[in-house]
Chain A
């Protein structure tokens, strides 16, 4: 046992020495590996996020109620009271565990100067539902969560309170505590004044450009419009974009779908009930070919290029060292040992570079660059997920292995007699 460890240690020493022998080549190989692993990491980050968004969760899933036949979806607010109960009528009908109503309110700070800096877009909903029903906010740390809860409480008490993402604040050049006046674009003629009571914590990095408000504020304004103008606002009869419900599992989702489908309450317009994952996949259907290309053309081609770069470097090293490989064999190294040396060298370079590259990308892109700016669909930015470190390791090691398998085999089969006869 001890002697085996000793042997391994000796091998490790030789491998490290080999890696350091041609520093230039090692450097180029690992730089090449790092750049290519970086591309793979970027591509996979986008894909894994998309996969995650469109995957069907088995438990604790969110259900989206939208207008059935039309897009963009518009539902009457009157639907909400029964929808949040899942249109349950009988006592043993499924009732959602949680819900949230979504309205979108967008407008200009200064209608005479329409520009991006001037534009704000708010999601309106029941304030108390924000922490539980909005993606990722339930994962905030205790301090951030307490802060969010305080903001929610304030939004409940003060209808015109709103929370604006830090990046959006910066674009508008506003600060927490300031008031803003918005003239409505989606709801024309509905101008609202807000007080910015807080911003989203940095940990909620996907909320950098997002703003939330109390749905009551908009509903009240629509009501007021009706009174002053003596006719309802054109968009007033159906201000709700969608209702999100949360159910325990897929079986409940199916029962809920049937319940809502059978309900006589939702005819004009009819509603569609689907899991959030499948709603998102239908939205992303148009991008399917692009994702396909990223997944099956770009990714594999980069991986293959990476294997080539490593294979090239290792086979050059093996060719240069034929002489000493022969010598090792004379000294009693078995073919497996020789192969192990070559494999070890490639794996060491590949794995380290892979981990380093993915780790570097993780730090640089998530912490410094603030995400990958790849605006596709409604996603503005993508972040490198935590598992990217494993990708770096796996991709580095995997491509190194694939790349060095042939050179390693050729090193294994170096014949002492051949080498020395040729040299002589």
Chain B
């Protein structure tokens, strides 16, 4: 018990802190690694480089050769310099006592170029197979036919490859879906304005007075004659009691509610639209219910995310997604769906949008916003705008670009990724032992063949090549089938939570099987084949011709 809210609150309360190193690369590009999950944004605006790691705590400006961090001048830096930010906030430039050791440098290089490494390794593995079959003199048909002759063993071994690769593909597709979701949720020019000290809207509290004239600030895109693309929102979490049949245990679900002032502006800011047939809620946000009973309450008009509509629909008989005109109970009121958001692939897919005032009243935030999302002209402008908001003397606000906000939410994805890598490695190890059995058996069964070949003048390395190739062919077949099977998972939807940087969001995500995942799967398979085939092939190579013929 003890852990549950504790962990959750810790997550909410904790704004992780950026610290780590900055490397100024060539072309003015900057790579930056921090121990937290923050991915800072880097903009090279002629002579000015601005790094915004975490809206409040880390800010580096590089202007005309001088590095300015958190207002302090840290001296001149140039391309190739290394800037380290110590946990206590101290900045060192090219500190030799903190050299980038070989391993760290290599790791960083790898992380930066992982795609090239992935495709490069796969190409190398396939090229190796081609090369082996070219320099190999024992005809490949010899191996292929043997695979057919002992087809049961072949199928069993290949199937082990298939399962490992397919599983890895599915799991990776899940993580990839998470990343895709966080990446596609933020709009490029959007800036999120939160209360000072909070990094998540679930934890932010902007009293009406605090907001001041922030929406009038320069840099926010205009809309119509007198409006601006600024959406003032209150984001709250509610508990919905799920109707269950008599005798069943009570159920509830968490729902995320976003109260907005002007749905048209909000839709433009978040680049969302309604599915055909729907409409936004009225100015009052409620639908009058005619009836003479005094207890009759008006219906709350709501716009609901596509994914949530499907999930709530599963409560009712038949399980069809909720659509326009349907109602649902929440917070002792009845809510009527005015429209459904065309929102798949974003976090808004799991949200309910209502009039701000209603959300505030129902969920205890009657006089405050949680965030204001404004649209700037573009990415660079958004970063500048965020800076300006933070620097403003009149208001104590935090601001960060929406891209940044959502990329901070990739923390969970990272944890899953690590878990998956571990599981895949252990499974692969299990598979390798299986392959070794197969190959050792193949060799002991064909030791006479090996003897004859050697007597005829085939060199030891030819024997090695032949058997290595056989195991690689086995791996390639198994891996390809595994990739094909894994591809079936593309497009599956799954519920999950994304979190990081303090906040968490319930989401419905779509599994995405990418080229990189397939390449990784195939590479893993070939790697297993290589590892599993190598030692047996060595032992085949070392067989003594005369002895194997006795």
User: Nearest CB to that of A46 among chain B residues?
Assistant: B419
In the assembled complex, the CB of B81 is this many whole angstroms from the nearest CB of chain A, namely 25
Q: In terms of DSSP, what is the predominant structure of the interface of chain A?
A: helix
B170 contacts A312, C-beta separation under 8 Å: no
Beyond A35-B427, A312-B156, whether A71 also contacts B497 by CB under 8 A is no
Provide the bound-state CA to CA distance between A241 and B57, in Å.
30
In the assembled complex, the CB of A153 is this many whole angstroms from the nearest CB of chain B, namely 20
Given the complex, which residues of A lie within 8 Å of B14, measured CB to CB? 116, 119
Interface membership of chain B positions 490-521, coded 1 if the CB is closer than 8 angstroms to chain A and 0 otherwise: 00001111000000001000000000000000
User: Nearest CB to that of A212 among chain B residues?
Assistant: B2
B160 contacts A68, C-beta separation under 8 Å: no
In the assembled complex, the CB of B2 is this many whole angstroms from the nearest CB of chain A, namely 5
In the assembled complex, the CB of A135 is this many whole angstroms from the nearest CB of chain B, namely 5
Beyond A39-B427, A69-B238, whether A121 also contacts B3 by CB under 8 A is no
Provide the bound-state CA to CA distance between A287 and B254, in Å.
12
Q: Does A72 contact B (CB under 8 A)?
A: yes
In the assembled complex, the CB of A22 is this many whole angstroms from the nearest CB of chain B, namely 8
Q: Does B127 contact A (CB under 8 A)?
A: no
Among B101-109, B389-397, B431-439, the one that faces the other chain is: B431-439
Q: Does A265 contact B (CB under 8 A)?
A: no
Q: Does A327 contact B (CB under 8 A)?
A: no
Q: Does B88 contact A (CB under 8 A)?
A: yes
User: Nearest CB to that of B10 among chain A residues?
Assistant: A121
B444 contacts A28, C-beta separation under 8 Å: no
Provide the bound-state CA to CA distance between A113 and B12, in Å.
18
Q: Does A379 contact B (CB under 8 A)?
A: yes
Interface size on B, residues (CB 8 A): 75
In the assembled complex, the CB of B36 is this many whole angstroms from the nearest CB of chain A, namely 9
Among A84-92, A140-148, A190-198, A295-303, the one that faces the other chain is: A295-303
A104 contacts B239, C-beta separation under 8 Å: no
A210 contacts B331, C-beta separation under 8 Å: no
Beyond A286-B495, A305-B164, A305-B427, whether A312 also contacts B4 by CB under 8 A is no
Beyond A39-B426, A287-B496, A308-B160, whether A210 also contacts B6 by CB under 8 A is yes
Provide the bound-state CA to CA distance between A61 and B153, in Å.
53
B13 contacts A275, C-beta separation under 8 Å: no
In the assembled complex, the CB of A90 is this many whole angstroms from the nearest CB of chain B, namely 24
Given the complex, which residues of A lie within 8 Å of B437, measured CB to CB? 25, 28-29, 32, 309, 312-313, 316
B434 contacts A293, C-beta separation under 8 Å: no
Binding site for A on B (CB under 8 A): 1-17, 19, 57, 87-89, 152-153, 156-157, 159-160, 163-164, 166-167, 170-171, 174, 236-239, 241, 249-254, 330-332, 362-364, 415, 419, 423, 426-427, 429-434, 436-438, 440-441, 444-445, 494-497, 506
Q: Does A282 contact B (CB under 8 A)?
A: yes
A285 contacts B253, C-beta separation under 8 Å: yes
Given the complex, which residues of B lie within 8 Å of A269, measured CB to CB? 364
In the assembled complex, the CB of A324 is this many whole angstroms from the nearest CB of chain B, namely 15
Among A335-343, A370-378, A384-392, A415-423, the one that faces the other chain is: A370-378
Given the complex, which residues of A lie within 8 Å of B432, measured CB to CB? 32
Given the complex, which residues of A lie within 8 Å of B445, measured CB to CB? 319-320
Binding site for B on A (CB under 8 A): 24-25, 28-29, 31-33, 35-36, 38-39, 42-43, 56, 62, 66-72, 74, 102, 104, 106, 113-117, 119, 121, 123, 134-135, 185-186, 206-207, 210, 241-242, 244, 269-270, 272, 274-276, 278, 280-283, 285-290, 293, 297-298, 301-302, 304-306, 308-309, 311-313, 315-316, 319-320, 374-380
Beyond A28-B433, A70-B363, A316-B437, whether A293 also contacts B5 by CB under 8 A is no
Q: In terms of DSSP, what is the predominant structure of the interface of chain B?
A: helix
In the assembled complex, the CB of B496 is this many whole angstroms from the nearest CB of chain A, namely 6
A378 contacts B250, C-beta separation under 8 Å: no
A241 contacts B5, C-beta separation under 8 Å: yes
User: Nearest CB to that of A288 among chain B residues?
Assistant: B495
B13 contacts A308, C-beta separation under 8 Å: no
Provide the bound-state CA to CA distance between A28 and B535, in Å.
12
Provide the bound-state CA to CA distance between A246 and B17, in Å.
40
Given the complex, which residues of B lie within 8 Å of A270, measured CB to CB? 332
User: Nearest CB to that of A68 among chain B residues?
Assistant: B239
User: Nearest CB to that of B5 among chain A residues?
Assistant: A241
B239 contacts A71, C-beta separation under 8 Å: yes
Beyond A56-B249, A286-B506, A316-B438, whether A69 also contacts B1 by CB under 8 A is no
Given the complex, which residues of B lie within 8 Å of A276, measured CB to CB? 1
In the assembled complex, the CB of B293 is this many whole angstroms from the nearest CB of chain A, namely 20
Given the complex, which residues of A lie within 8 Å of B5, measured CB to CB? 72, 102, 104, 241-242, 378
Extra 8 A-B pairs, beta carbons < 8 Å, given A70-B363, A114-B17: A67-B239, A69-B362, A206-B2, A287-B496, A298-B423, A320-B441, A320-B444, A380-B3
Give the interface centre of B2, B153, B237, B494 by most chain A CB atoms within 10 Å. Answer: B2
A312 contacts B157, C-beta separation under 8 Å: yes
Given the complex, which residues of A lie within 8 Å of B171, measured CB to CB? 293, 298
User: Nearest CB to that of A311 among chain B residues?
Assistant: B156
A309 contacts B160, C-beta separation under 8 Å: yes
Given the complex, which residues of A lie within 8 Å of B241, measured CB to CB? 68, 272
User: Nearest CB to that of A102 among chain B residues?
Assistant: B5
Q: What would be 10 A-B contacts, judged by CB atoms less than 8 Å apart?
A: A104-B5, A115-B87, A119-B13, A123-B6, A282-B251, A308-B157, A308-B160, A309-B160, A309-B433, A380-B3
